[in-house]
């Protein structure tokens, strides 16, 4: 075998960059003829820290006081609470009278993420009155209406059969 023949049959290494980076045709993120790696970063219109004292050498040496740092913080917006929903129950540490709490006393501490578990929802009072809805609309199907009318004629026979079955 000649020296040049041994390299002819070796497969080429796969191009890992093209395997990992999807084309825009495959990713559906932009025009099909653009390269996703050519898209650049657009900085904000205004630099945010220019007027801040902390970016100066003197400000870096002094540091920010706790009051200055807290003034920059924004409080979290409170979550909308639904008074009709039940929340988590945790063991009461002390009863309202000041006595040590028993195992049957618990305090509702609010909703934890999703809905309450079935057990917790079962022990809460619900002020929701459920009224059944009866559909009295006619069926509109002549065959069904005829069958219902025929069954109404045999209602006495059905009641007698049911009474007889209950006795036996």
Per-residue model confidence as pLDDT tens digits over 62-103: 888 889 888 888 887 776 666 666 667 777 776 566 666 666
CA gap 125, 108 in Å, rounded: 12
Mean pLDDT of the chain: 73
CA gap 87, 114 in Å, rounded: 10
Residue 94's pLDDT is what? 63
Residue 22's pLDDT is what? 75
Strands (E), 28-105: 88-91
Residue 32 to residues 1, 27, 88, Cα–Cα distance (Å): 47, 9, 51
**CB 111 within 8 Å of CB 88:** yes
In this model, does residue 109 exceed pLDDT 60? Answer: yes
CA gap 168, 158 in Å, rounded: 16
Instruction: Measure the CA angle with vertex 90, ends 85 and 91; round to 5°.
Output: 145
Residue 37 to residues 19, 20, 21, 129, Cα–Cα distance (Å): 14, 12, 9, 60
Give the domain ranges of the chain. 88-122, 138-168
């Amino acid at each position: 075998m000649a020296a040049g023949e041994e390299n002819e049959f070796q497969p080429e290494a796969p191009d890992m960059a093209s395997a990992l980076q999807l084309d825009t045709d495959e990713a559906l993120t932009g025009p099909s003829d653009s390269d996703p790696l050519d898209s650049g970063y657009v900085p904000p219109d205004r630099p945010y820290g220019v007027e801040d004292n902390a970016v100066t050498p003197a400000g870096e040496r002094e540091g920010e006081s706790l009051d200055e740092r807290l003034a920059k913080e924004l409080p979290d917006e409170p979550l909308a609470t639904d008074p009709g929903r039940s929340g988590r129950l945790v063991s009461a540490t002390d009863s309202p009278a000041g006595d040590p709490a028993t195992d049957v006393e618990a305090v509702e501490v609010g909703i934890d993420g999703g809905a309450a578990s079935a057990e917790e929802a079962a022990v809460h009072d619900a002020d929701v009155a459920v009224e059944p809805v009866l559909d009295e609309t006619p069926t509109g199907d002549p065959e069904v209406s005829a069958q219902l009318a025929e069954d109404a004629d045999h209602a006495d026979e059905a009641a007698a059969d049911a009474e007889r079955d209950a006795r036996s």
